Amino acid sequence: MTTVEQTSSVRPARRAAVTNPGHGDIFTDHMFSMLWSPAEGWHQPEFGQLQNLSIHPGMIGLHYGQVAFEGLKAHRRADGSMVVFRPREHARRFQTSTSRLAMPELPTDIFMSAVNQLVAADQEWLSDHPAHSLYLRPLMFATDESLMLRPSENYRFLLMAFVAGGFFGDRVDTVSVLISRDYCRAIPGGTGNVKVAGNYAPSFVAQRQAQEAGCHQVVWLDAIERRWVEEMGGMNLFFVRSTGTGNEVVTPQLTGSLLPGVTRDALLTMAERLGYRTREERISVEQWRQECAEGTISEVFACGTAAVVTPVGTVRDPAGGDWTVGDGLPGPVTMTLRRTLMDLHHGLARDTEGWLHPV
């Protein structure tokens, strides 16, 4: 089993210096921890300082990737209070992810209690900068000390947090993407529809190719026909199609190899409330290129907890050349949806769906 060690704390000094947090490096002070065993179920809840773990080198989670996680955000509203965006949906998706890896489900009430404790304790880390938030990272991993190829019997759940700025920086700018022709992210029957650690490490070589090609992110195609657009690296994608009767907001259908994003789901609802028609459909990369050339697809954006809503300006396809989306700048539908979502996060719009959980 894992044990905890005390670490020296340099964090108060860092807290004062959080002006440009980036994504994932500025951890807050505390964490929640809980264990699971066959005899005791979930037990030993602990809330305390963020600490290093001491782990056995033969831990199943390290070797065989029995590790699942989530990502959700707490925001500061204009009145100074803190809210968490759709934590129950993240708890449910976490349960789906851990079940897929033969791990126990963490009950929603424990997930919520951990979130409440951590946000209450660490909220002072968050300024009122509109592009900053507290990113909460729930994690579950297998702790058995064994190299037998079998599911672990014991697990640990952790919740930690970091201060997050914009995933692509605090300014809203379009990003460029590379269609990955060498690699794929997920296969039918695989784990593409859940949030498990093993989905992410294999994406790094493709992401590196994107950067070497001068692009910010990779776009994944389906694994069978290698033509249907699935996701961007760790984000869902949306297309804005102009039709004779107005704008349509379209996102790739959840075929089983895409992650069902909580932000994706929220944006589908928001787009409808704003009067756009919404569709979930399969979109091929040829269609993307052709409809951009014809001007039917006028905007494309990525979305996710980390990405929020990020406009895509240019596309590079090693098999089909480069093209620009619209005029290559953030489009009006994208920016309307981004603003609507951020206004909700910051308490500037009414929470008609009950998506905000006050802490």
Looking at beta carbons only, is 42 or 69 nearer to ligand COI? 69
Residues that bind ligand COI (CB under 6 A): 71, 234, 304-306
Give Cα separations from 261 to 90, 170, 225, 289 (angstroms): 9, 22, 23, 24
- Say if residues 257 and 185 touch (Cβ distance below 8 Å): yes
- Closest approach of ligand COI to the CB of residue 26, in Å: 15
Instruction: Write the DSSP symbol of residue 125.
Output: G
Which of 258, 306 has the CB closer to ligand COI? Answer: 306
108: helix, strand or coil: helix
Q: CB of 345: closest distance to ligand COI in angstroms?
A: 14
Q: Which two tokens stand for residue 183?
A: 């690699």
Q: Which residue has the tokens 């990955």?
A: 180
Minimum separation from the CB atom of position 167 to ligand COI (A): 7
Given the complex with ligand COI, which of 23 and 227 has the nearer CB atom? 23
Strand partners, 73: 135
Q: Which residue is nearest to ligand COI (CB)?
A: 71
Q: How far is the CB of 125 from ligand COI (least distance, A)?
A: 18
Helices (H), 196-304: 204-212, 262-273, 285-294
Nearer to ligand COI, 22 or 151 (CB): 22
Q: Measuring CA to CA, which residue among 87, 155, 77 is closest to residue 118?
A: 87
- Taking the C-alpha atoms of residue 264 and residue 284, their distance in angstroms, rounded to an integer, is 19
Work out how close the CB of 306 gets to ligand COI at its nearest, in angstroms, rounded to a whole number.
3
Nearer to ligand COI, 71 or 190 (CB): 71
